[in-house]
Amino acid sequence: MRSIQSKILSIEALKSKVQSLKRSHQRIVTTNGCFDILHWGHLQYLEKARALGDVLICAINQDASVKKLKGPERPIHSEMIRAQQIAALESVDFVVLFGEDTPEKVLEVIQPDIHVKGGDYNPELLPERAVVERHGGKVQCLPLAAGFSTTDLLKKLGD
C-alpha cells in the first residue's frame, strides 16, 4: 500500500506518471473539486468514478481558488489537509492541486480517457470539456447521493 503523501504529486511528477500509465494501456479517469469537508456523497462519487477506469486522478482546488469560488469563509480545511484526505481513500490513485477556477491546465497534461463531474453539472456547459474531447476523451456526469452537499452541511452547522 502506498503512503498518502506519495499519492500527492506536482503537475510535473504527474505528467511523468501519466505517460507511464498510458504506455501500459491504463484507462485514466479524472475528476476535480474543492472537497472541502469530506462527506458520504464524496466517498460514493469517488468510488463510482474509480469504477470507470484503471486509475483515478483527483485534481483539488488550491485555497485561493476555493475562496474565489465559494467565498471568503472557505475553505474550511487547507489544501494540504484536503489533498491528504482524498489521497487516503483507496479509490483515489493520485491527487494534484491546481490554482485556476477550472482544471483545463491539469487536464491538458493528463489527457484523461474520462473526466467525471457530479450530476449537478451539464457536461455540455463544462469549460474543460473541449480539452478532454480534443485529446480523445469524454466527459461523464455521475448522479450524486441525495442529501449530501458541503454547502448544505455548513448551513446546518451554522443554524
pLDDT (tens digit, 0 to 9) for every residue of the chain, 159 residues total?
679 999 999 999 999 999 999 999 999 999 999 998 888 888 999 999 999 999 999 999 999 999 998 899 889 999 999 999 999 999 999 999 999 999 999 999 999 999 999 877 788 889 999 999 999 999 999 987 666 565 565 566 665
pTM listed for this prediction: 0.91
Per-residue pLDDT, 123? 82
Domain 5-158 class in CATH? alpha beta
Q: Are 142 and 45 in contact (CB under 8 A)?
A: yes
Domain extent listing, the chain: 5-158
Instruction: Report the first-to-last Cα separation within the chain, whole angstroms.
Output: 41
Alpha carbon distance 14, 115 (integer Å) = 16
